[in-house]
Amino acid sequence: MNIDESSILKNLRDPSTVRVGFPMLVKQFSQSLYWKIRQIVLSHDDADDVLQNTFIKVWNNLDQFEGKSSLSTWLYRIAINESLDFLRKKKQELDIDIDADVSVANRLLADDFFDGDEMQALLQEAISRLPEKQRVVFNMKYYDGMKYSDMSKILGTTEGALKASYHIAVQKITEFLKAHH
C-alpha cells in the first residue's frame, strides 16, 4: 500500500502525531531502502543492520529535514551514507580484506537470500571491486535507471562527474567480466 509522502510528512511534523508518522514512513520506504542498501553492502544481514541504522538516523534527524528535496531523496541520501560508513568500518575492522580467500561471488552463491546465477554473482563481484563512489553511481544508474540530475541531488556531485564515474565503472566491470568469463 502506497502512502502519500505529504501525509507522512504532515504526521512527522506534528509532535502529537510523529509516533504515527514514523511507522508510516518505515512501512512505505523499508523495502526500497533495503534493496538500495543491499546493492552496496551485498549481504542480507548487513543490509538489515544498515537499514536499522538508517531509520535510527532518520528518527534522530527528523527536525533537520527542511523539505528542499523529496522525503524519498532525503532518505536515500541517508541510506547511501550509512551504507558507505558501514563498509568503511567493516574494511577497517577486517583490516582491508573481507574474507580474503572467499570472493564476493562465492559468498553470494552461498547466501540463501541470493537468487541469481553465476554470471550475476560475477557481476556483483566486479561491482564490489569498484571504488565506493563509482559503485554507488553504477548501482543507481544500472539498477534504478536513475537520472543524473536526481543522482546529483542525492550525492551532491555534478552531473558531469557522475557521468564520468559511471563510464569508468562500466569500463572496469566490462574488463573484469571479460577476464573472468
Q: What is the pLDDT of residues 52-77, one digit of tens each?
A: 999 999 999 988 888 888 898 899 98
Contacts of 144 (CB under 8 A, 6+ apart): 36
* 36, amino acid identity: K
Q: What is the pTM of this model?
A: 0.69
Does domain 117-180 match CATH 1.10.10.10? yes
In the chain, which segments carry CATH 1.10.10.10?
A: 117-180
Q: Are 83 and 41 in contact (CB under 8 A)?
A: yes
Q: What is the pLDDT of residues 119-132, one digit of tens each?
A: 777 787 788 888 88
Q: What is the pLDDT of residues 17-53, one digit of tens each?
A: 999 999 999 999 999 999 889 888 878 889 999 999 9
In the chain, which segments carry CATH 1.10.1740.10?
A: 1-100
Distance between CA atoms of residues 95 and 89, nearest Å:
10
Q: What pLDDT score does 117 carry?
A: 62
Q: What pLDDT score does 100 carry?
A: 43
Does domain 1-100 match CATH 1.10.1740.10? yes
